[in-house]
A = this chain, B = another copy of it.
Amino acid sequence: MERFSNNISDAYLLQKIYCKTMTRKNKLSCGLDLDFDSNIENALECSSGEGYDFVCLDIVNPEKKTHFLKAASGDKLGDKTKPEFMLIGQEWCSLVVGKVSKWLTLNSGLDGQKACAENAVTQELNFAAYLSLPAVLVYLQTQDCASLAKTIYTHLLTSHHGMTVWVNVPLTVGPGKINGVEEADEENTSHEKQDSWHWWNKFRCLCGQHNRIGLALEITADLPDELVLKQWLGEPIRSVVLPTSVFLTNKKGFPVLSRAHQFLMMQLLRLNCQIVVTGGNEHDSGLRVYQQYVNHLFSSHPPLGQYEAFAQGYEDYLQAPLQPLMDNLESATYETFEKDPIKYQMYEEAIYKCLSKKSKDNKSDSHLVLMVLGAGRGPLVRASLRAARQAKVKVKCYAVEKNANAAVTLELLRQHEWMNDDVTIISSDMRKWKAPELADVIVSELLGSFGDNELSPECLDGAERFLKPDAISIPCNYTSYLSPVSSQKLYNEVTGAGLLDKEKRHDAAFETPYVVRIHNCHELAEPKKVFYFSHPKPKADNNSQISENNQYLSNVRYAELSFDVNKSSMLHGFAGYFHCTLFDDVCISIVPQTHSPGMFSWFPIFFPLLTPISVKQGDVVNVNMWRCCSATKVWYEWAVTEPYTSPIHNPAGRSYTIGL
């Protein structure tokens, strides 16, 4: 229901759409990592001739290492770097990624030396920024990365350009494979020191998970197990570094990747990252073949499914959830909803089954009273009338709609499309409508991404007044689901959203759930059930302890969920879904494991955490979730209590509520 809302400020939306346009690609962007060459123009021409889109070049001549070390302490860069007049500005800023000297990014023990190396890295970054390079590659070669992180972070915070930093991290590190670092202290060679994901995690945490720090994941010949691959897929991968040495040679002498590597590359290409081919020419047919192979992989992607095609461009794009009770929807929004190929089919089937059952039970030949509550522009009325015809049941249909504008459309439909049916249009809020008779069946589509979050329970409570004792509600019941997720991408998006509204608390954006097509993410465990609602309200729910004044208390809910985590990760928040039984065995679901195929009306919901939580392999994640109600509004509060306790998010609904 919620993907078309845009309560987030227009400026933000425009900016996002602009970015989307810029990044949506039909062609893969593939670059070539070159050794130092003083003739850049020539190098660029050759690479372009081989079909590459950009090149990666050393920012300074690595042969000048000794000289440079002195220079780093204050002299000018001089002839040790590329003269900027070799290329025009447009070429620097679109064709060249700078490489920070590898030997500088290692930690050295002495304070003086370290200070010099840090100074030198800063100078290289400054020079790259001066040339307007779009990105620089920095090499993470050890867990001992605190000072490198500090240098990069300082540069990002103090410089005024938009250059991104690609942090080159190898996918795996075998024992003894740690480049150039001598592990003198055997005892200290802990598991984490050999786990490159932990290097990356430490680095990006030190840098406050800055959104201009992206991952350049270097593919290795050995691939880790599937859990580790999933762990990486939740990271903000900007580029994939593909060494020519990981290619195999096929019968014809051409480079190919192993099936496992192919599978991994297909998953990575879904994340819209760029490719960097690195290493010597290991095949006879020139460097062109690597690029051709990767582009071949890219174009052999299976065509997108209905849902994926619809969702394209919305990946990881935050939207404020709809408030359909407080705001009236626009006609165009209804129109898009109505295009869902699955949802109304399922409703029609559920109504058919329900009416068939009702008419069997119904001995007399009288008609059934069916009320569509929240009829919008009529799709459920249409489904109901079709189902009634199919079930050969006479129905008297009321179409109740609080949006007076939509009621106009309904009235026109009644006169022109439904003139032979018994349809009455009611322009009223179902919670206030004085029904002239009692209903046998009520049909509604009031669910949000988290099931109850568009206040379906409260609305249908308001309809209980005009139900027959044996009335049936379609949907019969719905359950929300939650799973813990890691996604720096989403974390950065929430941080960005928080910067838009200076009037609010600094943490308000993290106390708000968002509707979002969650994409660049690692789900730490399968979703579990949270809240359950059924309609009509079971009698037991009408808690005798709850007086009429506080009737809203019956929709208060609390759940505590535990998830076992089988891989270390950063927990950034929780993904929410719903599963809904319309009637009998007819269900709709957006829970990944049971998702109704092709149904695109709902994206998941995301509940962020103000402070990402470091979760270790074997930890339990415990989340507490409240659905809170007052006489005028409804909201969620949430907290993590394992592996350690967060503050309660959105206490007293201070940052986000849904108006009744």
Contacts and interface: CB of A to CB of B under 8 A. Distances in A.
Interface of A: 69-70, 72-75, 111-116, 119, 146-147, 149-150, 153-154, 157-158, 201-202, 205-209, 506, 541, 543, 545-550, 553-554, 556-558, 560, 611, 614, 624, 626, 637, 639, 641, 643-648, 651-652, 654
B624 A146 contact: yes
Contacts of A154: 651-652
Contacts of A119: 550, 553
Contacts of A506: 506
Contact of A150 (B114, B115, B637): B637
B205 A550 contact: no
A546 B651 contact: no
A72 to B, nearest CB: 8
| 5 closest residue pairs by CB, A with B | A614-B644, A205-B645, A112-B543, A74-B547, A208-B647
Stoichiometry, copies per complex: 2
A626 to B, nearest CB: 6
B553 A73 contact: yes
A208 B639 CA distance: 11
Given A74-B547, A146-B624, A208-B647, 12 more contacts: A70-B547, A111-B556, A112-B541, A113-B545, A115-B553, A116-B543, A116-B545, A146-B560, A150-B648, A153-B651, A209-B647, A614-B644
A323 to B, nearest CB: 22
A150 B550 contact: no
Nearest to A554: B112
A112 B654 CA distance: 24
A545 B149 contact: no
Contact of A626 (B150, B209, B553, B648): B150
Contacts of A611: 611
A149 B154 CA distance: 39
A101 B14 CA distance: 54
A486 to B, nearest CB: 14
A553 B648 contact: no
A158 B554 CA distance: 22
A208 B648 contact: yes
Nearest to A110: B543
A604 B624 CA distance: 39
Contacts of A637: 150
A141 B438 CA distance: 49
A111 to B, nearest CB: 6
A384 B163 CA distance: 57
Contacts of A547: 70, 73-75
B652 A158 contact: yes
Contacts of A150: 626, 637, 639, 648, 651
Contacts of A614: 643-645
A254 to B, nearest CB: 44
Contacts of A641: 146, 202, 206
Given A112-B554, A116-B546, A644 B205 contact: yes
Contact of A558 (B111, B541, B651): B111
Nearest to A205: B645
Given A146-B641, A560-B146, A546 B202 contact: no
B116 A647 contact: no
Contacts of A113: 543, 545
A548 B73 CA distance: 9
Contacts of A645: 201-202, 205-206, 614
